[in-house]
Amino acid sequence: NAGVTQTPKFQVLKTGQSMTLQCAQDMNHNSMYWYRQDPGMGLRLIYYSASEGTTDKGEVPNGYNVSRLNKREFSLRLESAAPSQTSVYFCASSETETGHPQETQYFGPGTRLLVL
């Protein structure tokens, strides 16, 4: 039982390049989330998926797109990377279903992204 896994662990991009961050969970959770963590800013929600087939914007969605490929996988894509997107990205999942939101979120180990 691996929990939440993320790939890659670390990536360096040049401005304008694109990349996809992968996330998978093996806990049969309905909801999945993408956060970014920046010093002094805490964790900020980029996008979330309440269930397979649905995605919604979070607090800081600009410059990102997501795909909920199936119940297990939720990817985050940067179409044209910018230095402001240098951050640590965390994927999380929870059992949450609409109407029962107060469930523990389980986080992956993170992806460190550096955009030059």
Residues that bind other proteins (CB under 8 A): 4, 31, 33, 35, 40-45, 48, 50, 56, 58-59, 90, 92, 94, 96, 98-99, 101-110
Q: Answer whether 35's CB lies under 8 Å from 43's CB.
A: yes
Nearer to other proteins, 78 or 110 (CB): 110
What is the nearest approach in angstroms of other proteins to the Cβ of residue 22? 15
What is the nearest approach in angstroms of other proteins to the Cβ of residue 65? 19
- The encoded tokens of residue 75 equal 């990817």
What is the nearest approach in angstroms of other proteins to the Cβ of residue 14? 25
What is the nearest approach in angstroms of other proteins to the Cβ of residue 92? 8
Q: Which residues pair with 44 in a beta bridge?
A: 36
Residue closest to 36 by CA, chosen among 68, 84, 72, 1: 84
**Edge-to-edge strands, sheet with 19-25:** 4-7, 19-25, 74-78, 64-68
Nearer to other proteins, 87 or 96 (CB): 96
Nearer to other proteins, 58 or 63 (CB): 58
Nearer to other proteins, 75 or 106 (CB): 106
Residue by residue, DSSP assigns 4-43 as EEEE-SEEEE-TT--EEEEEEESS--SEEEEEEEETTTEE
